[in-house]
Amino acid sequence: MHVYTLKNWQHDHDFAVKSEKGEQRARAVLIITALTMIVEIIAGSLFGSMALLADGWHMGTHVAAFMMVLYAYRYARNHADDPSFTFGTGKVSVLGGFASSVALLVVAFVMGLESILRMIKPEEIQFNKAIGVAVLGLFVNIACAFILKRPHHH
């Protein structure tokens, strides 16, 4: 008779149950990122800084990505027990990541065109004012990374 068991090495794969804290962190980062995006786009326009504009629009893609993540959390939670999802609802986040990367490509294309136009017709950049906003953006990115960081245990 077989007396060994794998129970000690098995773990639960119901990811929707444990997502509440992740959802709260994503919501907080969404708000912080959206506010920083607005500041960077306005400052980039006022100070003539293509770098701030690009970072502001890049943060816009992060805002869209976090909105997709929040939707994915909600969708996965609402359909966690739905038998029509044979392998669960995990692919919702993969589709969200794909959509986010497509949006980032569109922003990169638009920023590339704008950069070419600025090489043809340069604009004056107010570096002293723009650098403060750029540093703020850096600190926001670092803060958001710490907010989203979580210990991984499997």
Quickly list H helices, the chain. Answer: 20-47, 50-78, 91-120, 127-148
Strands (E), the chain: none
Q: What is the pLDDT of residue 78?
A: 78
Instruction: Give CA–CA dist 6/82, Å, rounded.
Output: 27
Quick check: 17 and 128 in contact, CB under 8 A? no
Q: What is the pLDDT of residue 131?
A: 92
Q: What is the pLDDT of residue 104?
A: 80
The model's pLDDT over 70-115, given as tens digits with 9 standing for 90+, comes to 887 788 777 777 777 666 666 776 777 787 788 888 888 988 998 8
The model's pLDDT over 2-40, given as tens digits with 9 standing for 90+, comes to 666 656 665 555 555 556 777 788 889 999 999 999 999
Quick check: 132 and 51 in contact, CB under 8 A? no
Please give the residue that has the higher pLDDT: either 81 or 45.
45
Core vs surface per residue 112-141: b (16+ CB within 10 A) or e: eeeeeeeeeeeeebeeeebeebbeebeebe
Backbone angles phi, psi at 82, to 5 degrees: -75, 115
Instruction: Give CA–CA dist 105/61, Å, rounded.
Output: 10
Q: Please report, for the chain, the start and end positions of each structural domain, with discontinuous segments joined by +.
A: 20-148
